[in-house]
């Protein structure tokens, strides 16, 4: 009964507290603590629509809000409300799930050619912006300039970066995402997750081109994606470790066992047939390793054996805690890669943890991967609420709950 009661409260709060008007459009706000919509949370509205078709307007609004406020090709990283107006900001990338893949999901639900044309035009501008502004070293890979580009706040993978947040200019203002800090000694960094996202965007552009009858362009986007995958293997893959690491501007691998490894699956970079042996090795050595990512409450944002976890921050830490965003994104890859039983387990542990602590901290941002205790970050957090609903429905349908 308690689980059903929590689900009912979630459904009510999503409508009364999270659906919010930003200027002339209604979007899905993250939480009271994060009073706005970040690009990394665009998937929230999409999976909400998949679970409840009456919420399709929120998914469409989300995609179109970022497209309509594209600035010379750059998508805003968030929208907030100020004095009744929507304010869009551009100081970092923080895409985290390929935006055009999410637009493709919405396209499949809508069946609207005009929407497809709009996304395709916008997507070409986004790809061009990344190629012109975030490939400064000529490697054909997207580069991280500052920590907030990844959304991995307080992670050990940002060690050595001069600007672990935004790039703050000498006058105290914050630079836009295309500006590189000339005093930086480590960046640009070839970030695994950002390039998996780039691959996902290119493959989605190929699919949009096919839908629009642009066969030659579809093949061109696929060719670009194949090239990104090849370069990602050349620059970031360590065969001995069966792991993909970020690399600094000199090509040195930054050996942090980050949850960025999931992005190889999340964005479909690893082909289930072509890369089957590597997939198996990564799963056995890392993803299902209880000393790394297969913790009591999977999946931590950094493998728990990684030394960078020591002395981690108490909250909002992508260098240790199991994040609601990580588990929500599991809906995009675990079943596809034959990990359905493992995903059921993740769902069970998530429901267990948040049901147990509901009276103390309802449905927050993150959990301790060992104890299952929540931090104090962001109660009634949209990604956590949505995954709780998803997990309960999945487990109920399977007769597990």
Cβ pair 268, 200 in contact under 8 A: yes
Tens of pLDDT, residue by residue, the chain (401 residues): 699 999 999 999 999 999 999 999 999 999 999 999 999 999 999 999 999 999 999 999 999 999 999 999 999 999 999 888 999 999 999 999 999 999 999 999 999 999 999 999 999 999 999 999 999 999 999 999 999 999 999 999 999 999 999 999 999 999 999 999 989 989 999 999 999 999 999 999 999 999 999 999 999 999 999 999 999 999 999 999 999 999 999 999 999 999 999 999 999 999 999 999 999 999 999 999 999 999 999 999 999 999 999 999 999 999 999 999 999 999 999 999 999 999 999 999 999 999 999 999 999 999 999 999 999 999 999 999 999 999 999 999 999 99
Cβ neighbors of 194 (< 8 A, separation 6 or more) are: 93, 95, 142, 143, 144, 149, 150
d(CA 105, CA 200): 12
Domains of the chain: 2-396 (1.50.10.10)
The helix-helix angle for 192-211 and 113-133 (nearest 10°) equals 140
Digit-coded pLDDT (tens) for 21-79: 999 999 999 999 999 999 999 999 999 999 999 999 999 999 999 999 999 999 999 99
- Name the residue with tokens 């690399």: 247
Of 115, 114, 139, 140, the C-alpha closest to 127 is 140
pTM reported for the whole predicted model: 0.97
Digit-coded pLDDT (tens) for 191-233: 999 999 999 999 999 999 999 999 999 999 999 999 999 999 9
Write out the two tokens for 347.
């769902």
298-to-13, 103, 217 alpha-carbon distances in Å: 26, 28, 40
Q: Which residues of 261-275 are buried (b: 16+ CB within 10 A; e: fewer)?
A: bbbbbbbbbbeeeeb
């Amino acid at each position: 009964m308690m689980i059903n009661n929590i689900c009912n409260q979630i459904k009510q709060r999503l409508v009364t507290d999270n659906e919010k008007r930003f200027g002339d459009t209604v979007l899905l706000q993250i939480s009271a603590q994060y009073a706005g919509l970040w690009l990394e949370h665009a998937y929230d509205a999409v999976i909400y629509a998949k679970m409840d078709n009456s919420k399709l307007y929120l998914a469409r609004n989300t995609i179109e809000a970022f497209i309509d406020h594209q600035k010379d090709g750059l998508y805003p990283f968030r929208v907030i409300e100020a004095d009744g107006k929507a304010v869009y900001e551009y100081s970092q990338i923080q895409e985290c799930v390929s935006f055009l893949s999410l637009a493709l999901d919405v396209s499949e639900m809508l069946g609207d050619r005009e929407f497809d044309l709009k996304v395709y035009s916008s997507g070409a501008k986004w790809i061009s912006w990344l190629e012109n502004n975030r490939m400064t070293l000529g490697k054909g890979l997207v580069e991280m300039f500052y920590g907030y580009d990844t959304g991995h706040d307080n992670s050990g993978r940002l060690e050595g970066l001069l600007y672990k947040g935004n790039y703050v200019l000498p006058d105290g203002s914050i630079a836009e995402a295309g500006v590189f800090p000339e005093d930086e000694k480590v960046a640009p960094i070839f970030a695994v997750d950002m390039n998996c996202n780039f691959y996902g965007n290119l493959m989605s552009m190929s699919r949009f081109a096919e839908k629009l009858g642009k066969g030659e362009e579809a093949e061109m986007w696929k060719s670009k994606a194949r090239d990104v995958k090849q370069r990602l293997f050349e620059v970031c893959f360590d065969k001995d470790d069966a792991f993909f690491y970020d690399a600094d501007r000199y090509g040195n691998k930054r050996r942090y066992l980050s949850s960025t490894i999931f992005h190889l699956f999340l964005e479909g970079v690893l082909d289930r047939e072509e890369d089957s042996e590597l997939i198996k090795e990564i799963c056995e050595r890392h993803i299902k390793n209880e000393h790394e990512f297969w913790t009591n409450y999977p999946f931590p944002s950094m493998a728990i054996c990684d030394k960078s976890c020591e002395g981690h921050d108490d909250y909002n830490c992508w260098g240790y805690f199991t994040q609601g965003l990580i588990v929500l994104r599991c809906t995009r890859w675990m079943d596809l890669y034959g990990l359905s039983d493992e995903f059921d387990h993740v769902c069970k542990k998530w429901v267990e943890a948040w049901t147990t602590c509901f009276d103390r901290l309802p449905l927050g941002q993150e959990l301790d991967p060992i104890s299952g205790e929540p931090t104090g970050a962001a109660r009634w957090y949209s990604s956590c609420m949505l995954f709780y609903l998803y997990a309960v429905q999945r487990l109920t349908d399977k007769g597990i709950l």
